[in-house]
């Protein structure tokens, strides 16, 4: 019988974290996986490319967690980063939208919620 670690990434449920820059996506995923997987800072746009982490999530089994770049990235490469995040959305089974505490403007999250559910 194959070891759980042998499960190819594509066969694992994809659990991805989305949201604005600086909302706490990387901090959240680090807490869940229990390591400093993703770089955390107070500079908006710290995460530039998707970060993948395969692990076992009991009782579900083998999964892959994905950290993504912020959906409101307005830097020079912002549109390219958002396009990468959209590619992740297309292969995501469980989308977790992270909203910073006290952020009352949720139009962007509402927009992507509809895209994720569609
Ligand atoms: N007070 C507080 N600060 C937090 C929390 N989560 C994250 N932070 C801080 O918020 C800042 C941004 O956190 P990140 O996890 O890098 O946010 P991100 O969404 O990955 O940001 P980008 O990669 O830029 O899109 C950092 O300074 C964190 O220390 C939280 O729950 N409470
Ligand atoms: Mg980040």
Across 28-35, average pLDDT: 95
Q: Which residues surround ligand 2, an ion (CB under 5 A)?
A: 26, 46-47
Under 8 Å between Cβ of 70 and 41: no
The SS3 call for residue 86 is: helix
Q: Rounded to 5 degrees, what are φ and ψ at 35?
A: -155, 170
Q: Is the pLDDT of residue 78 over 60?
A: yes
Within 6 A (CB) of ligand 1 lie 19, 21-27, 40-42, 44-47, 69-70
d(CA 31, CA 90): 25
Cβ atoms within 10 Å of 81's Cβ, excluding its own: 21
For residue 118, the model assigns a pLDDT of 64
Q: Is the pLDDT of residue 1 over 60?
A: no
- What does pTM read for this prediction? 0.92
For residue 11, the model assigns a pLDDT of 87
pLDDT over 70, % of the chain: 95
Minimum-distance ligand 1 atom for the alpha carbon of 27 = 15
Could you tell me the pLDDT band of residue 10, with boundaries at 50, 70 and 90?
Answer: confident
Across 58-80, average pLDDT: 94
CA distances from 63 to 3, 11, 38, 102, 107 (A): 14, 8, 17, 31, 30
Could you tell me the pLDDT band of residue 48, with boundaries at 50, 70 and 90?
Answer: very high
Q: How far is the CA of 103 from the centre of ligand 1 (A)?
A: 13
For residue 3, the model assigns a pLDDT of 60
Under 8 Å between Cβ of 9 and 54: yes
Across 39-56, average pLDDT: 95
Delineate the domains of the chain, giving CATH numbers in brackets. 10-117 (3.40.50.300)
């Amino acid at each position: 019988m194959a070891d759980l670690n042998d499960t190819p990434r594509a066969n694992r449920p994809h659990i991805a974290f989305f949201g604005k820059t600086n909302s706490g996506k990387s901090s959240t995923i680090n807490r869940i996986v229990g390591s400093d997987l993703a770089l955390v800072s107070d500079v908006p746009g710290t995460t530039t490319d998707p970060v993948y982490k395969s692990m076992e999530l009991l009782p579900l089994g083998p999964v892959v967690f994905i950290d993504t770049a912020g959906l409101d990235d307005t830097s020079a490469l912002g549109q390219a980063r958002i396009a990468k995040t959209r590619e992740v959305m297309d292969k995501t089974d469980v989308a977790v939208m992270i909203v910073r505490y006290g952020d009352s403007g949720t139009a962007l999250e509402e927009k992507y919620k509809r895209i994720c559910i569609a």
